[in-house]
Chains A and B, each alone.
Chain A
Amino acid sequence: AQKVTQAQTEISVVEKEDVTLDCVYETRDTTYYLFWYKQPPSGELVFLIRRNSFDEQNEISGRYSWNFQKSTSSFNFTITASQVVDSAVYFCALSEATTGNQFYFGTGTSLTVIP
């Protein structure tokens, strides 16, 4: 079973629109960690955020914000006023304390911001 589901394969928005990337996870652990990574066209994987399971506070960093809801097992990522430079593939990942040896990556959401 897929531990991390990113149902949106591709999203296109016009510049300055807001966009939300969905991430749903599955785990039986009470202690776990959630991550978002950005993979721009250049190919590198850039860390964006880490959230542990005991901290449900939403986080905002500039135009980026994250909504963590344990009740729905979701960790969604919103980009406000999108820009062309936001065009990338975004990956959500899960790490569990009991099997902390690896990340479970989602399949990624490809975001295209149209100027």
Chain B
Amino acid sequence: DAGVIQSPRHEVTEMGQEVTLRCKPISGHDYLFWYRQTMMRGLELLIYFNNNVPIDDSGMPEDRFSAKMPNASFSTLKIQPSEPRDSAVYFCASSPRGPGRDTQYFGPGTRLTVL
């Protein structure tokens, strides 16, 4: 089975531009998570979905960030407008059942650089 797929793997953009990160979870997984990793703050959960419905978005830093999951096999994380402090690695993860009981499987990440 394919793992979690993320695209693009690297993104370089200029401040003020819109950025869209994409994720395809493992087939059959009901939960999808978006994380951000920085040196300063480590791994932070941004938002997670259950059966395509956002459950907890308390980790989303600002209104500039938005996430959608239009179907079970696709999710996007959008930043508009982007700022240099958004530079980080963004991970998508999925798990097959209740997030506390099953392992989260991570994608390879998208390294975002905002100039």
Q: Is the CB of B108 within 8 A of A43?
A: yes
Of all chain B residues, which has the CB nearest A108? B42
CB closest residue in chain B, given A44: B108
Pair B89/A35 contact, Cβ less than 8 Å: no
Given A43-B109, A103-B45, A108-B42, A33 and B104 contact (CB-CB distance below 8 Å): no
Chain A interface extent, by class: 20 to 34
Q: Which residue of A lies closest to B56 (CB)?
A: A101
A:5-54 near B, CB below 8 Å? 32-33, 35, 37, 43-47, 50, 52
Q: How far is B43's CA from A50's CA once the two chains are assembled, in angstroms? A: 18
Specify which chain A residues have a CB less than 8 angstroms from the CB of B56 in the assembled complex.
101-102
Contacts of B33 in A (CB 8 A): 102
B105 at the interface (CB under 8 A from A): yes
Contact of B100 among A37, A47, A95, A107 (CB under 8 A): A95
- Decide yes or no: A103 and B89 within 8 Å by CB, A43-B109, A43-B111, A91-B43 being known contacts: no
A100 in complex: contacting residue of B59, B98, B108, B111, CB < 8 Å: B98
A35 touches B103 (CB 8 A): yes
